[in-house]
Amino acid sequence: MAGFPVFLLSDFGTHDTYAAQMRSAILSFAGYDTPLADLTHHVPRGSVLEGAFHLRACLPFLPPGSVTLAVVDPGVGTERRGLAALWRERLVVCPDNGLISFLPPPVPLFQLPPPEPSSSSTFHGRDWFAPCAARLSVDPGWIDSMKPLEDPVLLRFPESLSGEGSISAAVIHVDSFGNAILSIESTREIPSGDMTIRWRGGSRPLVRVDCYQEAQPDEAAILRGSQGFWEIAFRGGSAGEILGLKAGEQIEMILEG
Amino acid sequence: MAGFPVFLLSDFGTHDTYAAQMRSAILSFAGYDTPLADLTHHVPRGSVLEGAFHLRACLPFLPPGSVTLAVVDPGVGTERRGLAALWRERLVVCPDNGLISFLPPPVPLFQLPPPEPSSSSTFHGRDWFAPCAARLSVDPGWIDSMKPLEDPVLLRFPESLSGEGSISAAVIHVDSFGNAILSIESTREIPSGDMTIRWRGGSRPLVRVDCYQEAQPDEAAILRGSQGFWEIAFRGGSAGEILGLKAGEQIEMILEG
Amino acid sequence: MAGFPVFLLSDFGTHDTYAAQMRSAILSFAGYDTPLADLTHHVPRGSVLEGAFHLRACLPFLPPGSVTLAVVDPGVGTERRGLAALWRERLVVCPDNGLISFLPPPVPLFQLPPPEPSSSSTFHGRDWFAPCAARLSVDPGWIDSMKPLEDPVLLRFPESLSGEGSISAAVIHVDSFGNAILSIESTREIPSGDMTIRWRGGSRPLVRVDCYQEAQPDEAAILRGSQGFWEIAFRGGSAGEILGLKAGEQIEMILEG
């Protein structure tokens, strides 16, 4: 019987066969009919921050019961632990290095059993995390046998602060369309009046729109994105390039009048 | 029961998880055992023309009953319609912006029901088109309930004209091997004598061959490609780079003698 | 009934739909429930050497019974033969151009029946090799009807020679982390004392470690990699860039004392 779907997220790229070797390890353990899908293998190399963003952005759109194997693991081969996380009926398997930092609580965490002595010390994704994810996809109850993990490594989420007439935030990702995604959840409101955006590179007017096409071609616009956050965009252009914004950068939005 | 296979074509790239979110939406709707495969997510950003080429090139090689979800959608969030097309027993779901322009008739077209009010206004691929494609993969008869779409947006296919001793055509795609694919269907004949190619960048001799290895290393060659069109190629080199050809460019072939 | 899993390796890239057309050919022949997975489609264009490396590196991690379709085929359309190889219960289908060179013997080889006359002369991957791989995934016994292939085209594997106090080897791949993989199988021992690496670009100390994090940030390190070979790495850096190493390059390691 097929297990639950397994999704893969990593910084391995696709020029080597590393991601494929993780896939094969899952198929071998959980059965050839296990549904597998790549989220992306192009997380910037070693960037736990961007890995945490992607995990937070897409997990709500994955089916309940699914298992996501997230491997951005610059500490591979050192003593860092492995964990399983349970978030809204979805499971995540990853190193304990902050990848689960941005998941809104509650997020019960569990400690994976250590890797087999026979596993490679340089490729825990294939030899340790993938078999754990595979087992959880066919035997979700396995998690009940794991010890709780109480003190996870956590990243500090770039803060989004509302002051008097201004909103501070951080860019947490620039997507491949050039949209600069902000650390402001789209469930929050942003006033609809005129604004000015200020950042390291200068300042300029910012309009609030509901879809990309509402902005004028040269106009910096802010809108609710599809990934759970507000984002800064240019119609038919790249906000990342035009404004020179990068992940991690602070911005401030000044509300007029 | 598994639905028919669903194929995905987009300009989302694979550095974000957008394509994966469409996949997940399909799996959630149609069942985890739905066969899914990516055609490419690297259509040049916003290029409906190149999206239309890829759709035309690979559709004949996809199985009857399959559903292809094609999302190159620079107008996302505006009033443009969504459509379902039926071509030789294959279904296509896409925005009504010209993506189906190059499919040889007959191509009955149907209008998709509008997106759910809850769907994101910036990601119709995931929230509108993917669920429609998923439904058609398990319930192809759903199309009978849709209104015909009589006035689709159509691109004008670059013309291929045969004059007195010359053939005019356009480059419609330069593939990643550097082969410049022409707007001349491979079912047409091209005389086998000596030719000269003339284009914006100059002119040079052109030989007709049956496979890449028949050409000499520095020789511009024309042959029947594998994608349904004639193409210009260099043995072991890139016609796109050597001749400076790009999609959309006009060429002329002069037949000698 | 589903066939055995089929894995795909090629130099087609993912910007066109060539890899997808091979996938579709397999699904159409072997059934929609055939498990398919990409190894990589980013073998450097036309590099049989790197294709042979990838095949050797990942085959041990693919499940017994699986079929790997490997298409790096600069000679497409010429008279070169097609072959099926059997290695430790895994099957490989590929052109007879050296792709199976690095598989440790025994590797019984069989000659594929010639392509159908209707097949494209420029895309044997889709029209010849894919259907053969598909058939073997559902009917492995088909191989018994093929003629043995006794005289395969073979690459000469870059030699790894141990001299008096030194080890010569070649870089056979630089992976996307920048690790320079050497032509020394990881089952061999390398003395643990101090070493000096000498190559075209100069010489510098080399330390032997068990995982990347054991090296100092600016230190060239050698360790057993996860792909069956020893490799040269920098902690958090790219050995390929820092040392200027490329696939095919010779190096020498001098053992001190």
pLDDT single digits (tens) B143-174: 999 999 999 999 875 566 666 788 988 898 99
Instruction: Identify the pLDDT of residue A1.
Output: 52
For residue C237, pLDDT beyond 80: yes
The residue among B24 and C74 whose pLDDT is bigger is B24
pTM: 0.91
Can you read off the two tokens belonging to residue B213?
């290895």
Instruction: Identify the pLDDT of residue C116.
Output: 87
ipTM of the complex in this document: 0.89
Task: Tell me which amino acid residue A199 is.
Answer: W
What length is written for chain A? Answer: 257
For residue B257, pLDDT beyond 80: no
CB B3 within 8 A of CB B34: yes
For residue C154, pLDDT beyond 60: yes
**Mean pLDDT confidence for A187-201:** 89
Most confident range (mean pLDDT) of A207-211, B60-64, B184-188 is B60-64
- Asked if the Cβ–Cβ distance from C24 to B61 is below 8 Å, we say yes
Average per-residue pLDDT for chain C: 91
CB B196 within 8 A of CB B254: yes
Confidence of residue A151 (pLDDT cuts 50, 70, 90): very high
CB of A40 within 8 Å of any CB in chain B?
Answer: yes
Minimum Cα–Cα distance from A124: chain C residue: C226
Instruction: Tell me the count of B-C CB pairs closer than 8 A.
Output: 81
Strand order in the sheet with C147-148: C36-40, C6-10, C67-71, C90-95, C82-87, C109-111, C147-148
State percent of chain A over pLDDT 70. Answer: 96
Instruction: Identify the pLDDT of residue B44.
Output: 92
State percent of chain B over pLDDT 70. Answer: 96
**Mean pLDDT confidence for C48-71:** 95
Residue C229 in 3-state DSSP?
strand
Confidence of residue B63 (pLDDT cuts 50, 70, 90): very high
DSSP H helical ranges for C160-227:
none
- Asked if the Cβ–Cβ distance from C63 to A13 is below 8 Å, we say no
Closest CA to B110 of B130, B126, B133, B138: B133
For residue A189, pLDDT beyond 90: no
**Mean pLDDT confidence for C8-26:** 96
Residue C197 in 3-state DSSP?
strand
CB of B180 within 8 Å of any CB in chain C?
Answer: no
CB B113 within 8 A of CB B135: no
For residue A157, pLDDT beyond 70: no
Confidence of residue C217 (pLDDT cuts 50, 70, 90): confident
Confidence of residue B191 (pLDDT cuts 50, 70, 90): confident
For residue A76, pLDDT beyond 70: yes
Instruction: Identify the pLDDT of residue C159.
Output: 60
**Mean pLDDT confidence for A99-128:** 91
Confidence of residue A257 (pLDDT cuts 50, 70, 90): low
Distance CA B48, CA B124 (A): 16
**Mean pLDDT confidence for A26-55:** 93
**Mean pLDDT confidence for A33-60:** 93
Average per-residue pLDDT for chain A: 91
CB of C124 within 8 Å of any CB in chain B?
Answer: no
For residue C46, pLDDT beyond 80: yes
**Mean pLDDT confidence for B98-121:** 91
Can you read off the two tokens belonging to residue B179?
């082969």
Instruction: Identify the pLDDT of residue B211.
Output: 81
Residues of B in Cβ contact (< 8 Å) with C14: 14, 38, 40-42
For residue B41, pLDDT beyond 90: yes
**Mean pLDDT confidence for B130-141:** 97
DSSP H helical ranges for chain C:
18-30, 48-58, 124, 130-138, 239-243
For residue A158, pLDDT beyond 60: no
Instruction: Identify the pLDDT of residue C41.
Output: 98
Distance CA A99, CA A86 (A): 13
Least confident window among A253-257, C139-143, C180-184? A253-257
Distance CA C234, CA C236 (A): 6
CB of A35 within 8 Å of any CB in chain B?
Answer: yes
**Mean pLDDT confidence for A77-97:** 94
Least confident window among A184-188, B119-123, C184-188? B119-123
Q: Which of A5, A42, A211 is opposite residue B14, by nearest beta carbon?
A: A42
Instruction: Identify the pLDDT of residue A86.
Output: 98
For residue C240, pLDDT beyond 60: yes
Can you read off the two tokens belonging to residue C189?
């021992």
Half-sphere exposure of A105 (CA within 13 A, CB side): 3
- Asked if the Cβ–Cβ distance from C175 to A16 is below 8 Å, we say yes
CB B147 within 8 A of CB B136: no
For residue B1, pLDDT beyond 70: no
Instruction: Identify the pLDDT of residue A129.
Output: 97
The residue among C54 and C163 whose pLDDT is bigger is C54
